[in-house]
Chain A
């Protein structure tokens, strides 16, 4: 599966040949189809976003092609009351919480309407600086526990993030404060051009969990069921007051880091081709067909619905009126200093000339 040794990699999806599929407890056909819809929705968003970027309709875009199993498996293992803290790699995860595609597209179009109120979706803002969202998630989960609420949180970050101080401080805080948190590491083995071998000498990133006194598990990040199962276990443990869990989901970044990146300079194209051949949406589709849960008609319907959602989304995004310059000054303070009002009126005067 990968170029690092992962003998203990947890999987549920077989290969249709010598490796058998595994049935999960408390996972019925309806949930399997929900997971499929989530995967297709995320995949469709990502592929359309790249096209929109090439058409000049959205700005620089960070791809997550091949990471959908991690995102869908995690999001569906949580309750709606549980918070999610995404990095930019999970920019579209709001789709799984009912956020309009237009909102996320507007984020990538740099329009203010792309920024949401986290309390509306229990979804933190897209976090750009690496690993800095980990302490936020730890603090929120800790704060929920202090309030006696039963909800928890999940934070996404990449393999490179585990080198950052913010990851360490956030993980340690979560453990010390018994925060109901799942730390979900998307180990796609690349931080832009830096391979995991240049990032750490740890045999498994999940081994870092030992240092924080929390359980760590490594799962196949291309296996939506394995991710679902591990996150469900982590969040149930969290809700039971047993503190945080580290889940390492191993995958491979078989796409550029972002639209501005040209990975041919540093990545092995044969490896990329091999990884793309076993991408996560197709693997789950194979599982569902072997289980008799998915037929051609349903698959076509799900894909058509996702495409329609994107067509609607980009249409709404592009129909949005241009942002007013007042937005520049509007939200930095609840109680802004008077200088901002003066700056805005001066700007309006000059723009009106």
Chain B
């Protein structure tokens, strides 16, 4: 869907910023609101330059009130705007869950399709950045579960731009989780100008025939590193879009390899990969040659950062699970 011919090397956070500039230029109904998004350009600088370019009516520093930000975004939609909300950090978004569950995901249904709520929530998520408590959460499950809300998580700068553009153009509410540990980890080519990565399409990050590692966000480069060390042909599937999920790509990969390890940073119980495992149990039983295994965070609070490396899924833990799957 890209109309760009040129690509430039960008960090993931720069790709987000580039997308916001392009989409706000393209559609005068798009506005950005959140804490510190204007004067500061966002605590990660994802919204840098927007205030100067589009003015204080379209790049709004809000009061420090997450439920108020998301609640007013609903009203802004009703007034014809397409708000892009920044939640400053993963765990700080929880006060807004009331608005998300009771209203963002339900208001269109409540109007029997009479009104659309084309709002976007984007937020940095995940650990590994040596941060104080509650700057490390992976809350995607809380956002996937309510009806009426779509969720995507990029793992490359190009997808960070493309998925956000798709979200901004989507008629439904979309939540984009940006892996903050990858914000400045590497420069990669990003198409210039308008660039859209459709929701609902997974990406094969690496092809193989013996084992599928399924991941999203910051777990994708981890899976790729692990794949390098496994003495078998390993496929890495980057889900990109958690809702809607690209079931076809998932089932096709598992049909080919018959062995699968699911990797998520969030805690295990009822995490997103539990849903993926259930889908495989329902639809891929005869393709499977080994139990579906998960490598996840543990069912405890995200730890003190001196211990976070042990908590996070690691190459060693993925290799351990991969060995079990391959030797079963």
Which residues of A come within 8 Å of B, CB atoms?
Answer: 83, 112, 115-120, 124-125, 128-129, 132, 134-144, 146-147, 165-166, 169-170, 172-173, 176-177, 327, 330-335, 337-339
Q: A116-B114, A120-B114, A141-B75 are in contact. Are A170 and B244 (CB under 8 A)?
A: no
The winner among B74, B106, B107 for most chain A CB atoms within 10 A is B74
Q: Which 6 A-B pairs have the closest CB atoms?
A: A139-B75, A135-B71, A143-B79, A117-B114, A169-B68, A139-B72
A346 CB → nearest B CB, Å: 12
The winner among A112, A128, A165, A335 for most chain B CB atoms within 10 A is A335
**Cα–Cα, bound, A165→B99 (Å):** 12
B116 CB → nearest A CB, Å: 5
User: Which residues 188-219 of B sit at the A interface, judged by CB distance below 8 A?
Assistant: 200
> Can you list 21 residue pairs at the A/B interface with Cβ under 8 Å?
A116-B111, A116-B112, A116-B114, A119-B78, A124-B78, A134-B71, A136-B71, A136-B72, A136-B74, A138-B68, A139-B73, A139-B74, A143-B76, A143-B78, A143-B80, A143-B81, A146-B81, A166-B67, A166-B99, A331-B109, A335-B171
**Cα–Cα, bound, A144→B243 (Å):** 32
- B53-88 to A contact mask, C-beta < 8 Å, 1/0: 000010000110101101111111111110000000
Q: Which residues in A have their C-beta under 8 angstroms from that of B65?
A: 169, 172-173
* A338-B74 in contact (CB<8A): no
Closest to A339 in B: B244
Q: Which residues in A have their C-beta under 8 angstroms from that of B110?
A: 115, 125
Q: A135-B99, A143-B78, A335-B172 are in contact. Are A119 and B115 (CB under 8 A)?
A: yes
Q: Which of A135, A169, A172, A337 contacts B244 (CB 8 A)?
A: A337
Number of interface residues of B (CB under 8 A): 47
**Cα–Cα, bound, A129→B106 (Å):** 12
**Cα–Cα, bound, A118→B148 (Å):** 18
Closest to A127 in B: B103
User: Which residues 117-148 of B sit at the A interface, judged by CB distance below 8 A?
Assistant: 147-148
Q: Which residues in B have their C-beta under 8 angstroms from that of A173?
A: 62-63, 65, 68, 71-72
The winner among B65, B81, B150, B243 for most chain A CB atoms within 10 A is B65
Q: Which of A83, A125, A170 contacts B72 (CB 8 A)?
A: A170
* B72-A118 in contact (CB<8A): no
Main secondary structure of the interface of A (DSSP, over half): helix
Closest to A151 in B: B79
Q: A166-B71, A334-B171 are in contact. Are A136 and B113 (CB under 8 A)?
A: no
* A169-B172 in contact (CB<8A): no
* B113-A331 in contact (CB<8A): yes
* B115-A118 in contact (CB<8A): yes
Q: A132-B71, A165-B67 are in contact. Are A119 and B79 (CB under 8 A)?
A: no
**CB of B154 closer than 8 Å to a CB of A:** no
Q: Which residues in A have their C-beta under 8 angstroms from that of B76?
A: 139-140, 142-143
Q: A173-B63, A334-B116 are in contact. Are A136 and B98 (CB under 8 A)?
A: no
Q: Which residues in B have their C-beta under 8 angstroms from that of A169?
A: 63, 65, 67-68, 71
* B102-A132 in contact (CB<8A): yes
**CB of B105 closer than 8 Å to a CB of A:** yes
Closest to B66 in A: A169
**Cα–Cα, bound, A141→B71 (Å):** 12
**CB of B108 closer than 8 Å to a CB of A:** yes
Q: Which residues in B have their C-beta under 8 angstroms from that of A140?
A: 75-76, 78-79
* A333-B172 in contact (CB<8A): yes
Q: Which of A83, A136, A331 contacts B112 (CB 8 A)?
A: A331
Closest to B57 in A: A146
* A118-B114 in contact (CB<8A): yes
* A117-B115 in contact (CB<8A): yes
B140 CB → nearest A CB, Å: 16
**Cα–Cα, bound, A100→B114 (Å):** 17
Q: Which residues in A have their C-beta under 8 angstroms from that of B78?
A: 83, 118-119, 124, 136, 139-140, 143
**CB of B287 closer than 8 Å to a CB of A:** no
Q: Which of B72, B111, B150 contacts A331 (CB 8 A)?
A: B111
